[in-house]
Structure 1
Amino acid sequence: MTHHQNANATADFATSTAPADVVRRQYLASAAGDLEALRATLAPDVEWTEMAGFPLAGTYRTPDGVTTNVMERLGKEWEDWTAHDDTYVADGENVVVLARYTAVNKTTGKPVDVRVAHHFVVRGGRIVRFEQFVDTALVRDAMTA
């Protein structure tokens, strides 16, 4: 493959509206701490739901609301909070991702390593809905001294 083709492939991924590509860009932006790029993957009327029992439980709206209430808070409370996405199941506008969270709690110094499933709905190249499924007890254990 020539360098030119690689560049095109990267550009295609960067602009692709395919649901799985949009979701993947969200994970890459999150891992890089690039909240502007993350917001660019979210619809203006996004509904982002963190699971009941999770420290950030609730539904957040608007791209700014999501990054302020979810990613920025995780960054304050955890060292190197990362969602490692490993398996994608795409069906139309639905994308389910199996992943793993890893981080170290800044208060307790305890690590967390927990499996998670995320359900995204992508329309028009933007994430319109997100729902998190996670073992909240393991996350809370890491937050408890």
Structure 2
Amino acid sequence: MTQTATTSLETVEALYEAFARGDVGTVLGVIAEDAEWFEAEGNPWYLGHPFVGPQQIVDGVFARIGDEYEDFRLDIHRFLVDGDTVAALGRYSATSHRATGRPLDAQFVHVWDVRDGTMVRFQQYTDTRQWADVMGAGAS
């Protein structure tokens, strides 16, 4: 079990490193064809169902981050590992949302399920009210 947990943690750490470099190709190489990506309920991008597979994840999440936010970053503070499941605790930040000019600074927990070095499921937990306010979708 320790070996699997270590492998899963290394996979998730490598994903965050690739995100930080803007290396989408490496990220996509680790996402299973049928991977499920769940945005937090209440997030303005939440559809009521997961994005499935690399292309939906790119179109529904990654491309939107790049299109909508200036200097978007993820700062990881801690990892928790349980077998093939890895939780990452940290903060999102961006200097501004392009449409509103508002900065983003929101905490998150990401829960990753990894099988044999491949990401099969992702669940986001974050302050969805702050996201909505930054994006101009919430009450001011």
Q: How would you bin the TM-score normalised by the shorter chain?
A: 0.7 to 0.9
Compute the TM-score of the two structures, normalised by the length of structure 1. 0.84
In the alignment, is residue 119 of structure 1 matched against residue 108 of structure 2?
no
1:87 maps to which of 78, 83, 94? 78
Amino acid aligned to 2:74: A
Structure 2 match to 1:106: 98
Structure 1 unmatched ranges of 5 or more: 1-16
- Structure-2 separation of matches of 1:70 and 1:62: 12
AA at the equivalent of 2:123: E
Q: Secondary structure at the match of 2:74?
A: strand
1:101 deviation in Å? 0.3
CA deviation after TM superposition for structure 1 residue 18, in Å:
0.5
Q: How many residues align?
A: 129
Partner amino acid for 2:35?
V
1:27-79 CA-to-partner distances (Å, cap 9, x unmatched) read: 12222221111111211210010012112113111112211211111110111
Whole-Å separation in 2 of the counterparts to 1:57 and 1:81? 19
Amino acid at match of 2:113: V
Structure 2 unmatched runs, 5+: 1-5
From 102, 118, 143, the equivalent of 2:135 is: 143
Counterpart for residue 4 of structure 1: none
Amino acid at match of 1:26: L
SS at match of 1:89: strand
> How far apart, in 2, do the equivalents of 1:68 and 1:82 lie?
18
1:75 partnered with 2:88: no
Question: Over residues 83-134 of structure 1, what are the superposed CA-to-partner deviations in whole Å (9 max), with x where a residue is unaligned?
Answer: 2112000110010110100012001111010100011100010110000000
- With the length of structure 2 as denominator, give the TM-score of the two structures: 0.86
Separation in structure 2 between the aligned mates of residue 57 and residue 23 of structure 1, nearest angstrom = 22
Larger Rg: 1
Equivalent residue number for residue 120 of structure 2 = 128
- Alignment RMSD (CA, Å): 1.4
Q: How high is the sequence identity, in percent, across the aligned residues?
A: 34
1:34 and 2:23 are equivalent in the alignment = yes
Distance across 2 between alignment mates of 1:24 and 1:32 = 13
Alignment-mate amino acid for residue 60 of structure 1? F
Q: Give secondary structure in 2 for the equivalent of 1:51.
A: coil
